[in-house]
Amino acid sequence: MPVQWQLVPGQSLLHRSWDGQVVLYNEVSGATHLLDQDTLDLLHALRDGELAPEDWANAELQLALAELRKLYLVEPC
C-alpha cells in the first residue's frame, strides 16, 4: 500500500512566484524555500485533495514528497 501524504497542518502555502521560480514561507519551520512552479503545483494539489488514488503509486512522486517532508512541508497521513 503506497504512502499517502498531506500538508503539515498550519501550512497555508504563503508564496510569491516570478518567472517560474517560487519563494514559499514555511509557517511551521519559519524557513523560506526556493522552489520551482511544479513543486508549488504539487503542494496545491495536495492541499486541494486533487491527487487520485493511482497517483500514490508513482515512485517519482513518492520521492518528491519524501524530500518535501524533510522541509516540514508535508507528512504521511
Partner 1 sequence: MLTVASLAPAALRARLAGDGLRLRTGRFSVRLQADMPSVAAGIGQLYADYPLLQDSDFADFHLHLKRPRSARRWLRPQVRLHCDGYEMFQPMPLQHAFPMFEWGLNWCVSSRAHRYLIVHAAVLERQGRAVILPAPPGSGKSTLTAALCGKGGWRLLSDELTLLELDTGLLVPNPRPISLKNASIDIIRAYVPAAVLSTPVHDTTKGTVAHMRAPGAAVARTADCARPAWIVFPHYSAGAATTLEPLARAATFMELAGNSFNYSVLGAAGFDALGRLIEQAAGFRFRYSALDEALDTFARLDER
Q: Which of 23, 28, 51, 61 binds partner 1 (CB under 8 A)?
A: 23
Residue among 18, 6, 2 nearest 49 (CA): 6
Q: Binding segment for partner 1 among 3-11, 27-35, 48-56, 59-67 (CB under 8 A)?
A: 27-35
Site for partner 1 in 1-20 (CB under 8 A): 14, 16, 18-19
Residue 42 CB partners (closer than 8 Å, separation 6+): 61, 64, 65, 68
> Three cell numbers at 11?
501550512
Binding stretches for partner 1 (CB under 8 A):
14, 16, 18-19, 21-23, 25, 27, 30, 32, 34
